[in-house]
Amino acid sequence: MHEITVGGEGMKGNRFALVFLSALVGFALITGCSNLGGKGKGSKEPEAPKVGEQARYYHFEDILFPPALKLQMDQSFIYETPSLTVGRLVLSGRVQAYSLLNFFMQNMERDGWTLVNKFGFKDVVLNFSKSNRNCTVNIYDRPIKTIVEVWVGPVRMER
């Protein structure tokens, strides 16, 4: 059996170990959390693109996507004919939803799309049209990443 001493040599060693362990855990939490790269809930700054990254077009030559979004090929599909490309693209990344809203509003207009309507609050839906196609951009604001779903279809199906 071990003898338990109160206020003796055994307590001093335990107290030192407890203080040391507490300091070590506190240091790890402070330095570890500061390197996570996340932004606080109140932050309004969009993520800056990495040096050398540029916005790009995926499958549709008139729908630009920001560089922070990565194409999820397993969730996307494209249907092409000689005169028309339609389908669904799903992209995701750590980008704030409001900055994506602004990005699509500005760049879709530059690429000749007309905003038909928009609605939402946390999640946003943007509807655009062109002479031969419609486009719906769904922006889903999730805790870990934001998901963008882009549907492109013909304006009117021929019978």
pLDDT over 90 (residue 4):
no
pLDDT at 151: 97
Cα–Cα nearest to 131, from 92, 84, 96: 84
CATH 3.30.310 assigned to domain 56-154? The reply is yes
pTM of structure: 0.65
Interval 89-118: pLDDT, tens: 999 999 999 999 999 999 999 999 999 999
Interval 34-77: pLDDT, tens: 333 344 444 333 344 444 468 888 888 899 999 999 999 999 99
